[in-house]
Structure 1
Amino acid sequence: MSPAPDERDRIRAAMDRILQETAQHSNGALTIVALAQEAGVPRNALTQRHPDLKNDFYTQVRARGQTPDSEIRLRRQIVKLMELRAKDAIELAQLRTDVEQLVRVVNQLTMHNHQLLHALSQPDSPVRALPTHPHPGRSD
């Protein structure tokens, strides 16, 4: 489908309305979605057919000292992700500490078990194995 002959003019007029905060056909957000809606064109008209107008829109937004809404959302998301990453780093450090402690405990128990098995294997050992009783419903 080819673009309407006045598509660029409609986009420019929509840019003016949004930047002057007089949007008529959109919510007036500083986004490409709102610009496309305001101009009555599909979003891909700005991203594929007229990327120069899209870039010009964002340039004008920044020149007025404003930040595009999409950038504001992305910055908020970055902050949230950085907070999550910091929390994950704390949790990871704790898990590493826990693993080190568990490895030490396993090594101590293994050494103790070897000592007990060795003592049990001696004929004059005071260590005695206790008889085991099967658990109900369990086959060993």
Structure 2
Amino acid sequence: MNAQPATTDRDAIRAAIDRLLAGTPLRSSGSLTIVALADEANVKRHLLTHRHTDLKDEFYARVRACGHVPDNERKLRDDLHKATERIKELIAEINKIQGENHAFARIVNVLELENHQLRTEIGSTGHLVALPGAHER
């Protein structure tokens, strides 16, 4: 008695696979997902994910063989592409900031040197003497 419903479920799943791949769904959204397959076969999803795993695997294999990319995989690929592009943007921004930091460090070093020279000049003469070219700034 238990073999009859399983056979009926398997037949319904196989027929649903054929309809989804042909693009002629009767009961589902037509998307190439396990949820849509379960809806199309009019069976509970856990039957596909726990009892008829061979049919689930067959479904995914046939989807890939037809060149179809499941919606969830397409979304993941899009997300990966966006994340990769964002990483490239952030790396470029980091490189720009690092370049600016190096320039600021050089400016600080020059200012420290000038400050040291001015303090040395004040210390040796007791008063400040204008640096050459300072009046042109």
Report the TM-score when normalising by structure 1.
0.69
**Aligned twin of 2:108:** 106
**Aligned twin of 1:125:** 127
RMSD: 2.6
Contact 1:30 1:70 in 2 (8 A): no
The 5 A counterparts of 1:58-137 are: 58-126=60-128
> Percent of counterpart pairs with the same letter?
43
Q: What SS does structure 1 have at the residue aligned with 2:30?
A: coil
Q: How many angstroms apart in 2 are the aligned matches of 1:61 and 1:33?
A: 14
> Runs of at least 4 residues of structure 1 off by over 6 A?
none
Q: How many angstroms apart in 2 are the aligned matches of 1:44 and 1:27?
A: 19
- Structure holding more helix per residue: 2
Residue 115 and residue 24 in structure 1: after superposition, are their counterparts in 2 closer, same or farther (change >3 A)?
A: same
Counterpart amino acid of residue 36 in structure 1: A
**Aligned twin of 1:34:** 36
Query: Can you give the 5+ residue segments of structure 2 that lack an aligned partner in the other structure?
Result: 130-137
Query: Can you give the 5+ residue segments of structure 1 that lack an aligned partner in the other structure?
Result: 128-140
Report the TM-score when normalising by structure 2.
0.70
How many residues are aligned here? 124
Q: Which moved more, 1:116-125 or 1:27-36?
A: 116-125
